[in-house]
Structure 1
Amino acid sequence: MDLKAVTRRVLTIVATATVATYSLCAMADDKIVIGFSQSTLNHPWRIAQTEGNKKYAASHYPDVKLIVTDGQNNATRQTADVESLMAQGVKVLMISPLTQQALTPVVKQAMDHGIKVVTLDRRVNTPVTVHVGPEDLPIGRQAGELIAKKLNGQGAIIEIGGTAGASVSIDRDKGFREAIAKYPGLRIVAFQNCDFLREQSMKFMEDQIQRFKPGEIKAVYAHDDEMALGAIQALEAAGRLNGIIVVGINGANNAIQSVAEGKLTATFIYPFVAPEGIQTAYKVARGEPVPKDIKLQSTLITKDNAAQYIGKGF
């Protein structure tokens, strides 16, 4: 057995033992211990989500001890984070899982040990106490219909995906493909997952600029604004942005500004589940009833309404 496997095994044993005796620990501490396992802090949206929940907890819940971890965009690291939180006796686990399947076993483990689980924005393949977040399938469909309308149902599309295996990436892709499937003249000619990162998207787009001649690319659909803006940077540098439809998701302030300037065609306000995440976790910790699925509303931003949303993103 290698060192990593031994370490994981030790963490699991410690977590199991601690969870089993949690009720005794709780008697000695008046604080409600809530753990927040964040998938990564390498993205502005993730930072906004984390800081929003931390600040709300600090100002509204003096009886809460909130422990935040950073999975550093690594499923193995995030799994270990959750095991560590379990070992610290959390009553509720808030988690935004990096990928759907990889985090399923440890979330199931937490649920099996009586820890309530609140998933934020991304899902796992096992029942949890409650999920809080926007819906990604409808956003993907809206993006597809928007591009289809702008292109009159004809043209080559480049799709830039998020993190492979993340529920948001799966649904944003699925919804988009469902929408454009109704238009035989639309086709996706290139696809790559770029982990929601601008630099990776820019490099991928530079490669596609070399691959396709001017006028061949008609639209770019990116699973988030950072990647959409990276694609725009590459297209602008090559003098190829004019006439290309570019759609992103998340509603970042710089993306909304880009929509207002006519560079980015559209984005979607995608709530970063703060303070809704900690509000829900607190209710769950106190035994208050909550819905199994709390849906947050997204909003389409185009040049027609961008001015009213400037400065209201993150």
Structure 2
Amino acid sequence: MKNGFPMMAAMVAVALATPPAHAATSDKKIALSNNYAGNSWRQAMLRSWDKVTKQAVSEGHVAAADSFTTADKEVPSQAAQLQNLILQGYNAIVIDAASPTALNGAVKAACDAGITVVSFDGTVDEPCAYRVGIDYVGMGRAQVDYLAKRLPNGGNLLEIRGLAGASIDDLIHQGIEAGVKQHPNFKIVSSVTGNWDEATAQKAVATVLSSLPEIVGVVDQGGDGYGAAQAFKSAGRAEPIIIMGNRQDELAWWKQQKTASNYSTISASIAPGGVTLAFWVAQQILDGKKVPHDIVFPTLSVTDANLDAALAAAPVGGVYNTEYSQADAVKAISASVAK
């Protein structure tokens, strides 16, 4: 018995030094299916996923959390990717989807195979899937509400849309249309596609500017504000109130204009790090928690009041961002249940 005490003490020491494994999910594997990584927002999303999930694996919450990005933005490529993830035996898939509807067959196949599917950012409407995102319609409507406060006489607006076919593009557009309907003194005189990318947005805006009347505001979806500003500058036209989308170059330009001429606007977007909230929601579902199929969390916003702090937090060439913890997911789930 005497010889057993050192061994017992050693076992206790090891137990105290080892983080507690979460038995229900410590052997589970979660994958991220991403259809596009061609802008700074998506790249920030992938970095957030990598940062948070590596820690989750090291702490024993899950066995693996891998990310996969298709080589293009096409639905067939992502559908094939989903089929591969099913065959590889993942227990849950977090997906940023190329289409809200076109991937439903692949998503249903995953659900039928017993895999939990949590869509984030680009959500899907297949009933078996969960959806984690912000109020995109409200985000679009809020842009016009803000312009109405700043410009009570209204005027002409230019709309820059996102990635064609994505659920986010359609939802934000719906919100902007609802805002214009509520404030009929505004009129959208042109709509271009910016793909949530500054260079694409700049080219698209430059193409139509010469044919447009005076523009008092630019409503958009994120990743296009700086490009729009450069297009107006190149055309020799005064920059209107351009809604921003939390990219560092947008915030830096806004700060420069604010210093030079007291320029004022707002900026808002879903945080790229919201993908970590989707990860923890998937983990909670695998852990047996009851989770509603729709979970909404707040938009990450910037105003004149917190512009300096947001700009300081945004890496050059990157995006103002935040990441989420397991506790944040539990709170978001509880709030969604309450609603």
- TM-score normalised to structure 2 length: 0.77
Equivalences, count: 280
Relative distance call for 1:108 and 1:82 in structure 2 (3 A) is same
Whole-angstrom distance in 1 between the partners of 2:140 and 2:65: 33
Q: CA deviation at 1:152?
A: 1.5
1:82 alignment partner AA = L
Instruction: For 1:137-152, list aligned pairs within 5 A.
Output: 137-152=137-152
- Which residue of the other structure, out of 40, 52, 56, is the alignment partner of 2:36? 40
Instruction: For 1:204-243, list aligned pairs within 5 A.
Output: 204-212=204-212, 216-224=214-222, 226-242=223-239
Structure 1 match to 2:306: 305
Whole-angstrom distance in 2 between the partners of 1:308 and 1:65: 34
Instruction: For 1:195-206, list aligned pairs within 5 A.
Output: 195-206=195-206
| 1:68 and 2:67 aligned | yes
Relative distance call for 1:217 and 1:163 in structure 2 (3 A) is same
1:42 alignment partner AA = G
Deviations, residues 155-186 of structure 1 (Å, cap 9, x unaligned):
11110100122111111111111111122321
8 Å CA contact retained: 1:94, 1:119: yes
- Over aligned residues, Cα RMSD in angstroms? 2.0
Structure 1 match to 2:277: 276
Instruction: For 1:163-202, list aligned pairs within 5 A.
Output: 163-202=163-202
Deviations, residues 69-115 of structure 1 (Å, cap 9, x unaligned):
11232211111111111110111011010121222221122112221
1:307 alignment partner AA = D
8 Å CA contact retained: 1:259, 1:267: no
Relative distance call for 1:153 and 1:128 in structure 2 (3 A) is farther
Structure 1, gaps ≥5 residues long: 1-29
Whole-angstrom distance in 2 between the partners of 1:144 and 1:128: 34
Q: CA deviation at 1:299?
A: 4.0
Whole-angstrom distance in 2 between the partners of 1:235 and 1:154: 20
Whole-angstrom distance in 1 between the partners of 2:229 and 2:269: 19
Q: CA deviation at 1:50?
A: 1.7
Deviations, residues 210-254 of structure 1 (Å, cap 9, x unaligned):
2125xx122111211x21111111112222134x111133x2233
8 Å CA contact retained: 2:79, 2:103: yes
| 1:101 and 2:101 aligned | yes
Whole-angstrom distance in 2 between the partners of 1:179 and 1:258: 26
- TM-score normalised to structure 1 length: 0.83
Q: Higher mean Cα deviation, 261-270 or 81-90?
A: 261-270
Sequence identity (%): 23
Instruction: For 1:53-92, list aligned pairs within 5 A.
Output: 53-62=49-58, 63-71=62-70, 72-92=72-92
Whole-angstrom distance in 2 between the partners of 1:219 and 1:196: 18
Structure 1 match to 2:253: 258
8 Å CA contact retained: 1:221, 1:246: yes
2:114 alignment partner AA = G
8 Å CA contact retained: 2:120, 2:275: no
1:280 alignment partner AA = V
Structure 2, gaps ≥5 residues long: 1-25, 314-319, 322-339
| 1:50 and 2:49 aligned | no
Whole-angstrom distance in 2 between the partners of 1:169 and 1:181: 18
Q: CA deviation at 1:269?
A: 4.3
Q: 3-state DSSP class of the match of 2:124? A: coil
Relative distance call for 1:123 and 1:84 in structure 2 (3 A) is same
Q: 3-state DSSP class of the match of 1:174? A: helix
Q: 3-state DSSP class of the match of 1:211? A: coil
Whole-angstrom distance in 1 between the partners of 2:231 and 2:285: 46
8 Å CA contact retained: 1:265, 1:302: yes
8 Å CA contact retained: 1:37, 1:68: yes
Relative distance call for 1:230 and 1:305 in structure 2 (3 A) is same
Structure 1 match to 2:131: 131
- Which residue of the other structure, out of 242, 247, 250, is the alignment partner of 1:246? 242
Relative distance call for 1:233 and 1:264 in structure 2 (3 A) is farther
8 Å CA contact retained: 1:92, 1:284: no
